[in-house]
Amino acid sequence: GAVVSQHPSWVICKSGTSVKIECRSLDFQATTMFWYRQFPKQSLMLMATSNEGSKATYEQGVEKDKFLINHASLTLSTLTVTSAHPEDSSFYICSAVQGGNQPQHFGDGTRLSIL
């Protein structure tokens, strides 16, 4: 149980393109989803916390207009990197929580490469 699916797993696109990443909880309803960014050989950096039906809470230093988060249902959250540039290249990982005192379960990540 507690499977989180992330799509796509790898995307390469040109500078200026907007890229959407999906995070789905497959066998549970996620009250909260989190989006992280991970640079090579580094730890995870929390970007934002997303609750279904409400606006995401962004961490300090994360541009909300650059990284658009939509949490339209209890099983789907999306992260859109708008007008992506090479410095946005990174590994993006989402996690989802069922509720109560349950731990976060992570997707397999999306490797974004901007040329």
Residue 77 binds other proteins (CB under 8 A): no
Residue 107 binds other proteins (CB under 8 A): yes
Name the residue with tokens 């549970």. Answer: 28
Q: Which of 83, 99, 113, 115 forms a contact with other proteins (CB under 8 A)?
A: 99
Residue 89 binds other proteins (CB under 8 A): no
Using the contact rule CB under 8 A, the part of the chain among 12-20, 30-38, 64-72, 82-90 near other proteins is 30-38
The alpha-helical segments, DSSP class H, found in the chain are none
| Closer Cβ to other proteins, 82 or 105, answer by number | 105
Residue 25 binds other proteins (CB under 8 A): no
Cβ distance 4 to 32 under 8 Å?
Answer: no
Residue 111 binds other proteins (CB under 8 A): yes
Distance in angstroms (rounded) separating the CA atoms of residues 31 and 11? 27
Work out the angle at residue 91's Cα, subtended by the Cα atoms of residues 87 and 93, and round it to the nearest 5 degrees: 130
Which of 4, 3, 47, 21 lies closest to 111 in space, CA to CA?
21
- Which residues lie near other proteins (CB under 8 A)? 4, 6, 31-32, 34, 42-44, 46, 49, 51, 93, 95, 97-109, 111
